[in-house]
Amino acid sequence: MARSLTSIRVPKPRTALGLLFLAMGYVMVVNVNNQQQRADLLADHLSMRRDLLSEALEDGSCSITPTEDAYPAPADAKHSLLASYPGSGKRFTWTVIKALTNREISDDWNYSEKLEADPLTVKTSWPHKEGKWSWGSQMDHVILLIRNPRWAIPSYHNMRFELDYAEDEARSLTRVPYTYSDRPAVALWETWRDAHFDAEIVRWVNFIDFWMTGGGTPTHDRCLYSDIKCKPVAVIDFDLFYKVNAIAEFYELRDALEASLEGTNAEMVQTSIRQCVFEKVFTTPELHQGNRTQNVLPPQYKFTIPQLGYFG
C-alpha cells in the first residue's frame, strides 16, 4: 500500500532545483496514491460481481445464490452473442441468461474477467463504437436485443456519464467502479443530447440494420470471415421483456437458450422454476442495476419535438 501524502516528510528546499525535486516528489506520490485508489476501487467492484446459482426449493419456489464461478459452456453448445445498441438492457438480459442456465457469461471488453472461461454468452454493442469484436471464433449465433431509442439513447448517456465521458479504454477502466451507481442531472443529459443526437440515432439504425441483414457490409465484413451466424436466431424487444409477466419475449429467449444447449450434456434450469428465476432477477435490482436509486429511467430525460420526429 502506498504511503499517504501527509505521512511523507520532506526537508525544506533552499534552491530552485530543490523546489523542482520537491514538486516532482509530490507528483509521484499523488500518482501512486491515485493509481492505488483506482486499483482498490476496481477490485472491490469486481469482487461484488459474483456469479449466480439458481436452484429449486422444496416448496416449489426458487433461489438465486451468489457463487464464485458459474459452469463453463458444455461441450458442443452453441455459444450466443447477445448484441444490442448500448443502453438497451443487455445487463438485465445477460443476468437472466446466467440465472436460467447456470452457465458462465462475459462481456466484449472483458470487464467481467470471464472471456477466457468458455462463457455460454457474451454481450456486445458491436458494431457501435462502444463494442469490441473480442470473442474471436467463440460465438456461434446471435440473440438481438432491441430497445426503443426513446429510452435506449438516454440509458446510453447514463453510462457515458458514469464513465465520466471517457474516450479511451484506459480511462474507461478507471471508471468501471462508478457504473450502475448514479443518474445524471437533466441539464447534463440535455447538453449531451443536443450535441450527439444526430450521430446516435444514425448509429441506432445502423446497428439494427447490420444484425438484421446478417452483417457483411463493405464497411463491416467481420461476419463474412467468421464462423458466427450473424443473422439473429432470436429478436427480443426489451421494452416488452423488462416486466414481471414477460410472456412472448421470455419464450423467445427460452427457445433460443434451449436450442443452444440441444445435443449437449446440459440443460437449462428445470421448467417448473424458470418463471420464478426470471422474476427473482427482475425483483432483485442490485443484480442488474447496481447501486442506482432508480431502477427505471426517469421520464425527465426528454427529447425535443424535432428529435421525436425521428422516432416515427
Average pLDDT over residues 288-302: 78
pLDDT exceeds 70 at position 40: no
Average pLDDT over residues 292-310: 85
Q: Note the pLDDT of residue 143.
A: 97
Q: Note the pLDDT of residue 39.
A: 44
The mean-pLDDT minimum among 33-47, 135-149, 211-225, 252-266 falls in 33-47
Task: Check: CB of residue 99 under 8 Å from CB of residue 56.
Answer: no
Task: Check: CB of residue 236 under 8 Å from CB of residue 257.
Answer: no
pLDDT exceeds 50 at position 24: no
The reported pTM is 0.79
Position with higher pLDDT, 13 vs 67: 67
Q: Give the percent of the chain with pLDDT over 90.
A: 49
Strand 80-83 vs strand 141-146: parallel, antiparallel, or unpaired? Answer: parallel
- Residue ranges of alpha helices (H) inside 75-233 are 90-101, 149-162, 169-175, 186-212
Q: Note the pLDDT of residue 58.
A: 80
Position with higher pLDDT, 179 vs 143: 143
224: buried, middle or exposed (CB in 10 Å: 19+, 13-18, 0-12)?
exposed
Q: Note the pLDDT of residue 6.
A: 35
Q: Note the pLDDT of residue 67.
A: 60
Rounded CA-CA distance 75/192 in Å is: 46
User: Per CATH, the architecture of 50-311 is what?
Assistant: 3-Layer(aba) Sandwich (3.40)
Q: Note the pLDDT of residue 218.
A: 57
Q: What one-character DSSP code corresponds to residue 178?
A: G
Supply the mean pLDDT for the chain.
81
Q: Note the pLDDT of residue 212.
A: 93
Average pLDDT over residues 199-215: 93
Average pLDDT over residues 101-105: 91
Q: Give the percent of the chain with pLDDT over 70.
A: 78
- Which residue in this structure is represented by grid cell 443487455? 90
pLDDT digits (tens, 9 = 90+) for 237-264: 999 999 988 899 999 999 999 999 999 9
Q: With the C-alpha atoms ordered 253, 255, 260, 264, is the resulting torsion angle positive or negative?
A: positive
Domains in the chain: boundaries = 5-40, 50-311
The mean-pLDDT minimum among 7-11, 221-225, 259-263, 290-294 falls in 7-11
Q: Note the pLDDT of residue 28.
A: 41
Strand 229-237 vs strand 121-124: parallel, antiparallel, or unpaired? Answer: unpaired
Average pLDDT over residues 256-275: 92
In the chain, the N- to C-terminal Cα span, in Å, equals 56
Position with higher pLDDT, 43 vs 161: 161
Average pLDDT over residues 14-24: 46
pLDDT digits (tens, 9 = 90+) for 48-89: 344 557 888 888 888 887 665 788 999 899 999 999 999 999
Per-residue pLDDT band for 119 (boundaries 50, 70, 90) equals very high
Q: Which of 2, 26, 14, 31 is nearest to 174 (CA)?
A: 31
